[in-house]
Structure 1
Amino acid sequence: MGGFLLRKAGAALIVIFLASVLVFLGVRALPGDPALALGAESRDPEVLAAVREKYGLDQPVPVQYAKWAWNALQGDLGVDSRQLPVSETIVSRIPVTLELAVLSLLIGMVIGIPAGVIAAVRRGKASDYASTSVALVGLSLPNFWFGLMLIIVFAVNLNWLPAGGYVPFSEDPVENLKHMLLPAIVLGTGLSAVLMRQMRSSMLDSLSADYVRTARAKGLSERRVVGVHALRNSLITVTTVIGLQLGALISGAVITETIFGIAGFGRLTVDAVNQRDYALLQGVVLVAAVGYVVVNFAVDIAYSLLNPRIRVSGRPA
């Protein structure tokens, strides 16, 4: 197990290094001058020269990257256009988006996984067609349209839930859930559709496998065959999809947080682009890339926990 973790951790570190290089070079390739943003849009040559010298923008790109990467390893991602530490700004926004992502995942799994199992068990029947049709509708709904419709119905017409804003959970848990419910439904609906389709496909493969036929031949109840043998192996593929959907949640959160006025990580990304804040943009993209790598690392480890037939070496037993 130790060797497996070391190999996966080494591969993750290589990916993070390559991602940091691409992030740094990509931001440098954007049109415009970072010194303008850091200099409060002043075009005075003396001011710009002083800003470039202060932040090392007058040095060769490899030297700039080495300094930025070294500082990033120590938790220092520089300062934004408001002269505030980028790392502190990101840390203050991440919990908001993490809460939204967790609620969206819970909604997606509660709806998508049972619907996929039912559709697979009752293949070709009315419930199968109904689940597949609903999943197709969920995949087709744009987040911005669905979010606006929920605001109109539940916030404007019915006045059941707030139309936007954010209340920290530590201040008022009830108000926090009220404010987060609609955006979580927007993101969770699309995720549930993806999980339902993947769960149905994976369950159909498992139900036709030899070990399921053997379990049925032993006289096990259908509930045990489906709920223990078939479901456990089907969850391996679904776990991978859940990990990969983190990127979709974050990209969807960019739009959803903007619509609902939530000051989270996604909205911070939009603000960094709109304000041409290069230091902040570097920070948010790097943190997002590291988040993807960490989640994929966790998914790889989850394989061996869900299916004991998979060795920690990554080869089937």
Structure 2
Amino acid sequence: MALRARDGWPNPLRWLLSHPWGGGSLISLFLSVVSGIVVALQYDPTEPFYSTTTIELVVPYGSFWRALHYFSSQAFFLLLLAHVVVVLWKNEADYRRGAWVRLCATLPCGLLLLFTGYVLRGDATGEAAGAIAEHICLSVPLIGPALNDVLFDLAESGLRKVYAHHVIGLVVLGGMAAWPHLRRYTARWRNHLPLVALTVLISVAVAAPIEPNRFGLLFIAGPWFFLGLQELLRYWPPFVAGVLAPLLPLALLLWLPKARRSRTLALLAIGLWLAFYIGLTVLCLQRI
């Protein structure tokens, strides 16, 4: 009854704030890992596009497993973002600065997990995303080549390093960053059965996207969350558009002060940045 307004209908804001978004994100991650193991048994980073397309032919129910991996990964990241928004809105948790920084590190880890999954597809979208990411890394002064050698190195190593980061490195780093938080909260499957059922139904009904190699195109779009950055690269240098601009909201989140006025200003700046980024994404969608 606490979640219902005076007219008897649920209060949307209260429902949003009380919904276990973090638990749903963790359950979606479990689904992504389980389905990812099945997909990885057939995947070959030396033949990414070929092995991705043959998963649906060689692996029993391959289309379902690949779709489940794709949609559960999308759900994991979106629910993680929703969880962060609710935590910031409620402002109930009292973390030390080090613990807060460590917890916030789960966001870039989750984003890179999702991003590397697109790159590993080896299709037009994956190739475009990988090429842009490598170009951005190389634009970083002084450490650019070393950074690219660690993260991507597509020209020399193909997708082997990206594959290693996707299945091992980023999972370990994200788990280490979130472990203190996960020890305090539990996610039970029975509390998220509608989410699991919806993800499975979508995976049965809708195939995971993959694009064939298309020649003669003047514009190839990257992943949906990458479109704003891709549009920004049209106007600013790679280091500014691809490094400084994305780091701005993350830096504000890491620094997020406890004083009410300063905290409000920092959150307002993050909100304005997100609105700006959404506008860039809409512009980029018009070019597709």
TM-score range for the pair, normalised by the shorter chain length: under 0.3
Higher relative contact order, chain-length normalized (CA < 8 Å, sep 6+): 1
Larger Cα-atom Rg: 1
TM-score (normalizing by structure 2): 0.28
